[in-house]
């Protein structure tokens, strides 16, 4: 658990720093914010592909090898992104960000590895500790934006190089920590039989509580990415610099990760569905706050913190609900397919966010996110009507 926790924390720090900087790099290269969400989009698409591929590796060879391969892939891709910034190459930058996202799928799948180590009544807490491991990244990743930029400028390079240099080193460290301190035999047990992707998707949507878990995580990811991706652009357009961006995104990612143990405890004691409902309410509130924030940094900090907390509630509770109700013989593959759907929805949101901001503004984008957050509540009402005993 300690090795899993450290790997998640370090790799999350690297990923958040790079994904936060990506739209700024793209805007500089393109000269416009309209398609500045493109690198973030391909990174999220990479995450959708990567979780499926890595879960396939885990089903064949165990969790350990899948996690190690993911961290190594992300480190190599981060170095490619660094080179792309130096050479001002948007195609290379986009390709590198795709593989950064694919490798980062490892730190997302780590939560399921932790759940395997505990009985059902403690799974949500185990998952929440892995999500909490991302607190290192939630604070350290954005906070390193300005120091890493200054360091890069100090050695005669463009400031955008800094986050990708730090990301490369941190991802390599993630792989080293897992490789040296991880329990390979415990994390390499394979209890699954391979299934076709078609059966995976069919199974995914036949089980009512699995459908609800997926919807909660998809909506949470979609709303979070929709608002978060364009927040750095909005802050810069309001006249603030990287220090302000780092502060707001730190508050957001702190909300995403820091209170995870509390979320896990609530899930195990109150149930998964009530926590999902609370998370969707928080997401809707955050959209309204972001819409009215304007250039107010305190209000943006509050809005993005609440956005992260709402995502956390839906993500932890949804992950536990998915694990509880997945058939054990295909659980790893099912989790990988589910995560692909989740990160794929985030890719759509990332790409749409730039177009929406360019056409209608940040406030409208945020209100759309607030409206979308209502969908899981409607699904829960329907679920309870069909299954009142549960």
- The domain that holds 339 is classified in CATH as 1.20.1250.20
Q: Which domain holds residue 289?
A: 2-386
pLDDT beyond 80 at 152: no
> What's the rounded mean pLDDT across residues 34-62?
81
Number of domains in the chain: 1
Residues 6+ apart with CB under 8 A from 204: 210, 211, 214, 334, 337, 338, 341
> What's the rounded mean pLDDT across residues 279-307?
88
Residue where the block lists tokens 């209100």: 367
* pLDDT score recorded for residue 389: 42
> What's the rounded mean pLDDT across residues 286-295?
85
Half-sphere exposure of 219 (CA within 13 A, CB side): 31
> What's the rounded mean pLDDT across residues 235-258?
78
Distance CA 143, CA 189 (A): 38
> What's the rounded mean pLDDT across residues 332-341?
80
Residue bearing the bigger pLDDT, 238 or 225? 225
0.75 cut: is pTM over it? no
Q: Mean pLDDT lowest for which of 6-15, 113-122, 186-195, 341-350?
A: 186-195
Q: Mean pLDDT lowest for which of 91-100, 129-138, 303-312?
A: 129-138
Whole-number average pLDDT of the chain: 81
Contacts of residues 142-145 at CB distance under 8 Å and 24 or more positions apart, as own/partner, are: 142/16, 142/17, 142/20, 142/245, 142/246, 142/247, 142/249, 142/250, 142/253, 143/246, 143/250, 144/13, 144/17, 144/246, 145/17, 145/20, 145/21, 145/242, 145/245, 145/246
Contacts of residues 49-53 at CB distance under 8 Å and 24 or more positions apart, as own/partner, are: 49/102, 49/340, 50/101, 50/102, 50/103, 50/104, 50/105, 50/106, 51/105, 51/108, 51/109, 51/336, 51/339, 51/340, 51/343, 52/336, 52/337, 52/339, 52/340, 53/102, 53/105
Which residue, among 166, 162, 117, has the nearest Cα to 14 in the 3D structure? 166
pLDDT beyond 60 at 84: yes
Per-residue pLDDT tens over the stretch 264-276:
999 988 888 899 9
Question: Phi and psi of 284, rounded to 5°?
Answer: -65, -40
């Amino acid at each position: 658990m300690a090795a899993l926790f450290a790997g998640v924390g370090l790799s999350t720090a690297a990923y958040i720093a790079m994904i936060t900087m990506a739209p700024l790099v793209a805007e500089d290269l393109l000269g416009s914010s309209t398609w500045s969400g493109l690198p973030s989009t391909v990174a999220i698409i990479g995450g959708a592909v990567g979780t499926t591929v890595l879960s396939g590796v885990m089903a064949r060879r165990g969790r350990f090898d899948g996690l190690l391969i993911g961290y190594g892939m992300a480190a190599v891709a981060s170095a490619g992104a660094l080179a792309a910034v130096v050479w001002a190459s948007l195609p290379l930058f986009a390709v590198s960000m795709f593989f950064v996202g694919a490798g980062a799928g490892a730190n997302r799948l780590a939560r399921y590895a932790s759940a395997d180590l505990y009985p059902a009544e403690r799974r949500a807490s185990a998952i929440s500790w892995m999500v909490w491991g991302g607190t290192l990244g939630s604070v350290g990743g954005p906070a390193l934006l300005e120091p890493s930029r200054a360091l890069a400028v100090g050695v005669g390079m463009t400031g955008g190089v800094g986050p990708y240099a730090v990301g490369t080193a941190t991802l390599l460290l993630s792989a080293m920590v897992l490789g040296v301190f991880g329990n390979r035999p415990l994390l390499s047990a394979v209890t699954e039989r391979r299934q076709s992707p078609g059966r995976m998707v069919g199974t995914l949507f036949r089980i009512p509580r699995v459908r609800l878990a997926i919807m909660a995580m998809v909506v949470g990811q979609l709303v979070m990415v929709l608002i978060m991706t364009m927040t750095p652009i909005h802050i810069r357009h309001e006249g603030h610099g990287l220090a302000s961006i780092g502060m707001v995104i730190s508050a957001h990612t702190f909300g995403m990760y820091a209170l995870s143990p509390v979320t896990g405890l609530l899930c195990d004691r109150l149930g998964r569905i009530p926590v999902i409902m609370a998370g969707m309410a928080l997401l809707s509130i955050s959209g309204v706050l972001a819409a009215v924030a304007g250039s107010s940094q305190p209000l943006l900090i509050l809005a993005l913190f609440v956005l992260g907390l709402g995502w956390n509630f839906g993500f932890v509770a949804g992950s536990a609900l998915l694990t509880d109700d997945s058939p054990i013989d295909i659980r790893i593959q099912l989790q990988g397919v589910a995560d692909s759907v989740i990160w794929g929805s985030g890719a759509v949101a990332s790409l749409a966010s730039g177009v929406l901001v360019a056409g209608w503004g940040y406030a409208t984008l945020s209100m759309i996110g607030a409206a979308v957050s209502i969908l899981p509540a409607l699904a829960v009402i329907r679920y309870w009507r069909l299954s009142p005993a549960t």
